Amino acid sequence: MAEERIIAYREALREAMNEEMRNDPNIFLMGEEVAEYNGAYKVSQGMLDEFGAKRVIDTPIAELGFAGIGVGAAMNGLRPIIEFMTFNFALLAIDQVVNSAAKMLEMSGGQISCPIVFRGPSGSAGQLGAQHSQMFENWYANIPGLKVISPSNPYDAKGLLKAAIRDNDPVVFMESEVMYGDKGNVPEGEYIIEIGKADIKRAGTDVTIVSFNKMMKVALGAAEELAKEGINAEVIDLRTIRPLDFPMIVESVKKTNRLVIVEESWPFGSISSEITFQVQKHAFDYLDAPIKRVTGKDVNLGYAPTLVEAYLPTIADTIKAVKSAMYVS
């Protein structure tokens, strides 16, 4: 059995990239400040020294340009990892992600695959203002041809990033700036986590709470508080947004008969909306209460700390939603 040790989220991502790059010379990392500066969040620290400037490549501030270079390289047999300093900046490159990477296999009649990973932080990270605080998992998950991953802890991050790098389809791998320092158990040995499989982080019987990325801290925190009041919540970490593990969620709801979804992004057209539809379609007769969701507010996120606090889902919000589903005041 592989020995476990405690490492940071950024270290888990770095290990995943290092291990895959050592095994396959066709893999390279490209992005702003990934090389000389060791990464904006120090995820790629030391990689330039090991792999050299031809495989760890600093770019200008030109997301559309270097994303396009990555897509072209992937179409010609290489396996790029494209780092965006934030997915807010990736909006400048979205044409390459959506209209080139996601569609190439289909438009070429299956002749040209595009094995590329687009990765970087998504979502709010404190007082960064409206243009730097957005969660885009639901945007990319709406696109056929893309796989979307959004892990909540170092163990999942490493196993899923290795799977993403090996995948022959384009993968959008979304992290969180505020989780890079989070620490967790990560085995010393080789492991891969299958894309498309959610994970039950806490077993329970009374209500199902579904979340992903840093909102898993809210979901698990709420479950701990609820347990003190005798409410046993099952907490599911989606891990992968597309493909989404609907069967696991449905089976959990059939057991608990109640569902609460916690999501950082805006409510309209959200991942929680799609989960709600699928559960009502496949488990409607098992529901003992309407599905509840806790999301970010339907506004652009302000800069003031009070506005950040008011915008984001909280443990208290989640407990209130659960109790509403349990008909507990």
Q: Domain of 138: which CATH number? A: 3.40.50.970
pLDDT of amino acid 2: 55
Same-domain check for residues 101 and 156: yes
Summarised one tens digit per residue, pLDDT across range 36-58 is 999 999 999 999 999 999 999 99
Structure tokens at 204: 């329970």
Per-residue pLDDT tens digits for 128-163 = 899 999 999 999 999 999 999 999 999 999 999 999
**Co-location of 154 and 17 in the same domain:** yes
Point out the catalytic residue in the list 11, 15, 20, 132: 132
Of 63, 137, 175, 234, catalytic: 63
Residue 107: inside a domain: yes
Note if 63 is an active site residue: yes
- Tell whether 109 is covered by a domain: yes
Active site includes 132?
yes
- Does the pTM surpass 0.75? The reply is yes
Q: E strands, 160-250, where?
A: 171-175, 183-187, 199-202, 207-211, 233-237, 240-242
Closest among 90, 214, 79 to 157, alpha carbons compared: 214
23 and 111 assigned to the same domain: yes
45, 57 in Cβ contact below 8 A? no
Please state the domain count of the chain.
2
Q: Where a domain ends, among 187, 217, 241?
A: 187
What range defines the domain where residue 166 resides? 4-187
